[in-house]
Every structure is written in C-alpha cells, then in structure tokens.
C-alpha cells in the first residue's frame, strides 16, 4: 500500500447550526459543496477537508481535562497566534496554551471537540 494523501477528518456534533457558526463564522473556514443526503457540512482548508456530521451523542468527554492536547483533536495552523487567540476569546471560546512551550494553544467547539491551533 502506498498512501498518497490526506483527504479529511470527520467531526461529530450535536447541533449543525451551532457547528456552522463555530467552524464557518468563528474559525472562518470555507464551506464547500457536500453531495450527501444526511445532515452535515464540509469545510475546505487548502487540500484537506473537515467533515462535520450530526450525531445525537456527540458531546465529548475529555480523557485528560488538564492537558487538552492529550485528547483526540485536530490541528490547524495560523499566521498569527495572538490574532487567533484574541478572536477566539472575543467569542468566549475556551483557550488552553500548549504545555510544550511551542507557539500553540487548544480550544473546543460547542460539543467539546478539541482543536489545536499552531503558529505557522
């Protein structure tokens, strides 16, 4: 087998409207066409997609509440970490700085999915 690329990550959410607000408006991701017949949204980041799917039991329980990066998560990069922190704080999103000392932090969507944000 020769894996030639990375296509998408699927995230479960309980409320599609709230997820659209977080991923589309707060994070500013680009919504793309989704040719499926069950509730969900697809967002494009360069060649990669995030697939948001609705599930009634989507609420996440953290395996490690002290260090969010030690839980299942996706990682995104930004040009300016301080701008990203300020934006997320302005929407009252939780922020946990990376304990590693590198320029990165973690936040959560409204269902508790962890998103790591790194300085590019």
As a whole number, mean pLDDT of residues 24-38 equals: 95
pLDDT, residue 40, reads 96
Q: Tokens for 6?
A: 């990375």
User: What number of CA atoms fall less than 13 Å from residue 102's CA on the CB side?
Assistant: 10
Of 116 and 63, more confident: 116
Nearest to 75 by CA among 11, 4, 2, 3: 11
- What pTM did the predictor assign? 0.91
């Amino acid at each position: 087998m020769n894996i030639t690329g990375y296509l998408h990550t699927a995230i479960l959410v309980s409320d599609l409207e709230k997820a659209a607000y977080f991923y589309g408006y707060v994070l500013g991701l680009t919504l793309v066409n989704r040719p499926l017949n069950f509730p969900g949204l697809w967002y494009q980041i360069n060649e990669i997609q995030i697939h948001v799917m609705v599930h009634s039991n989507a609420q996440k329980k953290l395996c490690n509440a002290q260090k969010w990066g030690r839980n299942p998560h996706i990682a995104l990069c930004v040009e300016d970490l301080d701008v990203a922190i300020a934006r997320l704080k302005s929407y009252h999103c939780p922020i946990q700085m990376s304990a590693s000392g590198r320029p990165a932090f973690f936040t959560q969507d409204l269902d508790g999915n962890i998103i790591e944000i790194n300085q590019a």
